[in-house]
Amino acid sequence: GVDIGKLRAQSAAITLDPGFTSTGACESKICFIDGEKGILRYRGYPIEQLAEKSDFVEVAWLLLYGELPNADQLKKFRGQLTYHSMIHEDMKKFFEGFPNNAHPMAILSAMVASLSTYYPESETEEHHDENIARLIAKVRTLATYAYKKSIGQPLTYPQNKLRYAENFLHMMFAVPCEEYTVNPIMAKALNMLLILHADHEQNCSTSTVRMVGSSRANIFASISAGICALWGPLHGGANQAVLEMLEMIENDGGDYKKWVQKAKDKDDGFRLMGFGHRVYKNFDPRATILRKMCEEVLAELHIDDPLLQIAENLEKVALEDEYFVSRKLYPNVDFYSGILYRAMGIPTNMFTVMFSIGRLPGWLAHWKELRDEDSRIYRPRQVYTGATERDYVPMENR
Ligand code: ACO
């Protein structure tokens, strides 16, 4: 219990906390992290158990509604996701307007914001749950359409008989001229990846969704803002940056020590992508699961990817280095996820889109929690460091 009344009364005092290292913006019941011990739980359930035993749609329900769904609730939710999986035919025309090399994150955020033009009733409370299902269903379709557009292939419609992860893989990889059967190993791996990304309390994109939602902006606008925040290389964009870094190291002859040295040089500006975390000062539990999963899935798919070896060697060299040890910089969720996406045939520029699909239930759960609480508008303060008062200078005197 935080005494909100007391906090409001103290509003004259401003605490300066750049980057919000130790400022809580809200109370939340959704996600628990202990960064020192490397613990992550959704609604009290350890991430390790959810990754092993659950599936993404069930986890989405859990995050949104606080409990594991019973059989009827889950069936109904799956039905809603199937029902909403198509996008309005007119929206297909939007894809034609983007250049072929457009980044799919730009397309995704634009498309999600445009959904509000098709569902303007979204402003009313009674439609929130429907819009939540709509978004989870449609983001997957929009993401695959962005990809199909970028490679010049016809769009593949969703299939009602397929479950969430299977349907995504089908829309990504099926082509009209060939039979396509979803590989169950890939579907299982994708489910796990999405679960691991589904929430992470007040990270940059989730805080953005809450910030935008706090102004009572509609759900599509709020989620579109979250997608933009996730795009940056210090956040979700890191998964793309990790793979590009591993490829660079491979092409450079695999001299790990050189790259670790480079990451320590502050003037260089290079960081080991996929390393370090604001909250985890220990192993990111998601990275531990992902590393094991990478080894298993690649073996099951009979893929021998040299980048896995490079990643494991780089991790070893970095974790033996005093710079990384003293700053408690460990691999984060992005370090191994790209190798798995690559094994599934997902191109590097789609990695952050995959993160968005995974994080969506978390964003929505936070948006819902914020709205259900009827929270105040988010409005941080600042410490002004600019010029003191001065008189306007006419143009001829400047
Ligand atoms: N490589 C080299 N040095 C690093 C790295 C890194 N990856 N990460 C942090 N450091 C250093 C910083 O230079 C700083 O050193 P200093 O104390 O000598 O000045 C110290 O470690 C602390 O780093 P900050 O940037 O202050 O930590 P912050 O909490 O602000 O940033 C972040 C966390 C953004 C994740 C950072 O570690 C980083 O840039 N990592 C690489 C990008 C990345 O992997 N992002 C994904 C994050 S997880 C996610 O969004 C899903």
Three-state SS annotation for the chain:
CCCHHHHHHCCCCCCCCHHHCCCCCCCCCCEEEECCCCEEEECCEEHHHHHHHCCHHHHHHHHHHCCCCCHHHHHHHHHHHHHCCCCCCCHHHHHHHCCCCCCHHHHHHHHHHHHHHHCHHHHCHHHHHHHHHHHHHHHHHHHHHHHHHHHCCCCCCCCCCCCHHHHHHHHHHCCCCCCCCCCHHHHHHHHHHHHHHCCCCCCHHHHHHHHHHHCCCCHHHHHHHHHHHHHCCCCCCHHHHHHHHHHHHHHCCCCHHHHHHHHHCCCCCCCCCCECCCCCCCCCHHHHHHHHHHHHHHHHCCCCCHHHHHHHHHHHHHHCCHHHHHCCCCECHHHHHHHHHHHCCCCHHHHHHHHHHHHHHHHHHHHHHHHHCCCCCCCCCCCCCCCCCCCCCCHHHC
Q: What residue type is assigned to position 286 of the chain?
A: R
Catalytic residue check, 302 = no
pLDDT digits (tens, 9 = 90+) for 141-185: 999 999 998 898 999 999 999 999 999 999 999 998 999 999 999
Question: 84, 197, 277, 366: which is the annotated catalytic residue?
Answer: 277
Closest ligand 1 atom number to CA of residue 230? 50
- pLDDT tier at 120 (50, 70, 90 boundaries)? confident
User: Residue with the nearest Cα to atom 14 of ligand 1?
Assistant: 327
- pLDDT tier at 9 (50, 70, 90 boundaries)? low
Q: Is 145 in the pocket of ligand 1 (CB under 6 A)?
A: no
pLDDT at 173: 96
User: Residue with the nearest Cα to atom 1 of ligand 1?
Assistant: 271
Q: Is 332 in the pocket of ligand 1 (CB under 6 A)?
A: yes
pLDDT above 90: percentage of residues in the chain: 83
pLDDT at 11 over 60: no
| Burial class of residue 253, CB neighbours in 10 A (0-12, 13-18, 19+) | exposed
* Residue 343 in tokens: 């094994």
pLDDT at 7: 60
pLDDT at 287 over 80: yes
Catalytic residue check, 284 = no
pLDDT digits (tens, 9 = 90+) for 62-119: 999 999 999 999 999 999 999 999 999 999 999 989 998 899 999 999 999 999 999 9
pLDDT digits (tens, 9 = 90+) for 238-266: 888 899 999 999 999 888 889 999 999 99
Q: Is 271 in the pocket of ligand 1 (CB under 6 A)?
A: yes
Q: Is 235 in the pocket of ligand 1 (CB under 6 A)?
A: yes
Whole-angstrom CA distances from 19 to 28, 56, 208, 278, 390 are 19, 31, 13, 10, 31
Q: Is 198 in the pocket of ligand 1 (CB under 6 A)?
A: no
pLDDT above 70: percentage of residues in the chain: 96
**Cα 107 to middle of ligand 1, angstroms:** 28
User: Residue with the nearest Cα to atom 47 of ligand 1?
Assistant: 235
By most ligand atoms within 8 Å of CB, the mutation choice from 329, 334, 352, 355 for ligand 1 is 329
**Cα 278 to middle of ligand 1, angstroms:** 7
Residue range 10-23: average pLDDT? 84
pLDDT digits (tens, 9 = 90+) for 177-196: 999 999 999 999 999 999 99
* CA 24/CA 11 separation, integer angstroms: 15
Residue 253 or residue 59, greater confidence: 59
pLDDT at 375: 86
Residue 136 or residue 177, greater confidence: 136
User: Residue with the nearest Cα to atom 31 of ligand 1?
Assistant: 278
Q: Are 147 and 365 in contact (CB under 8 A)?
A: no
Q: What residue type is assigned to position 99 of the chain?
A: P
* Cβ-proximal residues to 333 (8 Å cutoff; 6+ apart), any chain: 196, 197, 284, 286, 287, 290
Closest ligand 1 atom number to CA of residue 327? 21
Q: Is 327 in the pocket of ligand 1 (CB under 6 A)?
A: yes
pLDDT at 125 over 80: no
User: Residue with the nearest Cα to atom 46 of ligand 1?
Assistant: 235
pLDDT at 10 over 70: no
